[in-house]
Homo-oligomer: A and B are copies of this chain.
């Protein structure tokens, strides 16, 4: 059982957060980016966008950077498909064609797809060029842009290839969230609720009383502070970083399943919300989470997220995905569970029967 010092994440002023040798900027963040670009001594700049961020976010970025002409834009399709290795090869080839050298900087302007793809492409191009993140979805602001994980997919196996590489800086600008569809907002909210559940009961209580369709700046800040504190304490995922996996053992399997089977597939957060409900059930069954807490978590999440039709027949497929998950080894499936709201415990081996019980708890709600 472990906790992180949640009090260290309670701050009134949204000061710059120091991470693993780089800064996460909140105030005047695009001006900070402009000065980073100006002072960085880079030879060339590249901005990675997808169709949507090219349309909704790039104009503001260009304006704040003084509409420079020494930028080349690399645009990919919107959506998880762009994390496929084929798109990554496309990004590498564009960098080659544009003549990127080792002193180039890649600016990842977009959601988690862009930061994961761009981070991986940059961390391996010419054995590594610098990159920064300008996250434009709530999910990427509170989660994907912090912690140094990069990743791409092969055959829809998520993040099967990747590196641990830190960005040179992260610039968080609330303005970008204004054009984000509400479904994407809620995708990020799931991670914020997770941050409360695993290590900050006060934050959870505040969130559950707030209007989460338009999250306030301070919430983004608090979530980033929590995630950053966790990854700083355990960069290589030996112990407490595993707390962030709460909801993700089952959630990832559901996400993969939906990606393959549904036309309009679940967002990451929607899948993780389902995973958190199932794993809260397991926390009650296998750890000390009380029945009242399980009910509370279930209700908050079911109120926010649409019900998903989990068919019993698919349970074996889901278990199969869990076994293939890189976090699970030797055919054993590992969950992070809650001992109470605001406190987690890691490395709980769950049997297939238990996991199916968790899935059924959700299916029968």
Contact = CB atoms under 8 A, between A and B. Distances in A.
Interface of A: 43, 85, 89, 92-93, 96, 99, 101-103, 120, 123-128, 149-151, 154-155, 157, 159-164, 324, 326-330
B163 A326 contact: no
21 contacts: A43-B329, A85-B89, A92-B161, A93-B155, A96-B154, A96-B155, A96-B157, A96-B160, A101-B328, A102-B329, A103-B329, A103-B330, A123-B163, A124-B124, A124-B161, A125-B161, A126-B162, A127-B162, A127-B326, A128-B163, A163-B163
A157 B100 CA distance: 13
Nearest to A126: B326
Contact of A160 (B103, B125, B151, B328): B125
Contacts of A164: 127-128
Nearest to A95: B160
Contacts of A155: 93, 96
A328 B100 CA distance: 11
A88 to B, nearest CB: 9
A128 B326 CA distance: 11
Residue picked from A125, A126, A164, most chain B C-beta under 10 Å: A126
A128 B85 CA distance: 17
Residue picked from A120, A159, A160, most chain B C-beta under 10 Å: A160
A160 B155 CA distance: 24
A324 to B, nearest CB: 8
A160 B126 contact: yes
A102 B149 CA distance: 15
Given A43-B329, A101-B326, A162 B124 contact: yes
A71 to B, nearest CB: 17
A176 to B, nearest CB: 28
A12 to B, nearest CB: 36
A149 B126 CA distance: 11
A103 to B, nearest CB: 5
Nearest to A103: B329
A87 B150 CA distance: 22
A159 to B, nearest CB: 8
Contacts of A328: 101
A245 to B, nearest CB: 14
Given A125-B161, A126-B160, A127-B149, A154 B101 contact: no
Contacts of A125: 160-161
